[in-house]
Amino acid sequence: MLKAVLFDLDGVITDTAKFHFLAWRDLGAELGITVDEAFNEELKGVSRIDSLERILAHGGVADKYSSAEKEAFCTKKNDHYLELIQEMTPADILPGILPLLKELREAGLKTIVTSASKNAPGILALLQVKDYFDGIVDPASVAAGKPAPDIFLAGAELAGAKPAECIGVEDAASGVDAIKAANITAVAIGDATVLGHADRVLADTSALSLAVLRDTWEQAI
Ligand code: G6P
Ligand code: MG
């Protein structure tokens, strides 16, 4: 039986992906590195420090900066990101998500946030959806980030469910990799050419419903 839904946050519950992009793009520009939308795709689902490492490698300066300098770059990026998201309200919840969360509550399924973002609790508070979730996995508590399965395995455990009793929802290729590596059924939101390794790809969140999740899970299991 399907018991739990494990939700990525950025790009699934709300469109913070565009703000992460803007903040990295501006930091990249300061460092003389071009972060365009195509390259940004590789940063989705990737932790803050790993995103910075990828950007520096992309700019051919992987070994140029000390740990302290990298830490400062991450803080700068996050400060900018927090400025960009502070105006967010419940109106910024992506289409279909709130009805889905209500449906899941009524059906008694567990709901867990499995995001790499350390800002997830703050964003859920801005969106006023915290009460719809049974738990948030702390990304700092897992050994390896996406595409490793750790955060989704931790999410299943938090839900009190086996991986085979869960379904994960993701917008990032690395996130779909992580779900599949955890032996969990994956629903992806976005471009099928990037996310084709998911069990089902939906163009956007408005197509999400408990019926679609159940159908995907039953066909995959
Ligand atoms: C999500 C986003 C990534 C972001 C990561 C860490 O996975 O898709 O773009 O880098 O979270 O977010 P944070 O808010 O902790 O910097
Ligand atoms: Mg995401």
How far is the centre of ligand 2, averaged over its atoms, from the C-alpha of 123 (Å)? 13
Q: How far is CA 182 from CA 67, 151, 153, 191, in A?
A: 31, 9, 6, 22
Q: Which CATH number belongs to the domain containing residue 35 in this structure?
A: 1.10.150.240
Q: Which of 31, 53, 85 is the last residue of a domain?
A: 85
Is the complex ipTM more than 0.90? yes
How far is the centre of ligand 1, averaged over its atoms, from the C-alpha of 166 (Å)? 23
pLDDT tens digits, one per residue of 35-60 = 999 999 899 999 999 999 999 999 99
The DSSP code for 94 is P
pLDDT tens digits, one per residue of 209-219 = 999 999 999 99
Both tokens assigned to 147: 């595409």
Ligand nearest to the CA of 55: 1
Q: Atom 13 in ligand 1: which residue has the minimum CA distance?
A: 117
- pTM value is 0.94
- Reduced to 3 states, what is the DSSP secondary structure of residue 145? coil
The DSSP code for 129 is -
Q: Which of 37, 56, 85 is the last residue of a domain?
A: 85
Ligand nearest to the CA of 138: 1
Both tokens assigned to 41: 């795709």
What is the position in ligand 1's atom list of the atom closest to the CA of 10?
8
How far is the centre of ligand 1, averaged over its atoms, from the C-alpha of 219 (Å)? 31
Overall number of domains in the chain: 2
Residue positions annotated with a catalytic role: 8, 10
Is 164 found in the same domain as 122?
Answer: yes
Structural domain boundaries, residue 68: 16-85
Both tokens assigned to 209: 């419903």
Chain centroid to CA 3: how far? 20
Please count the residues of the chain: 221
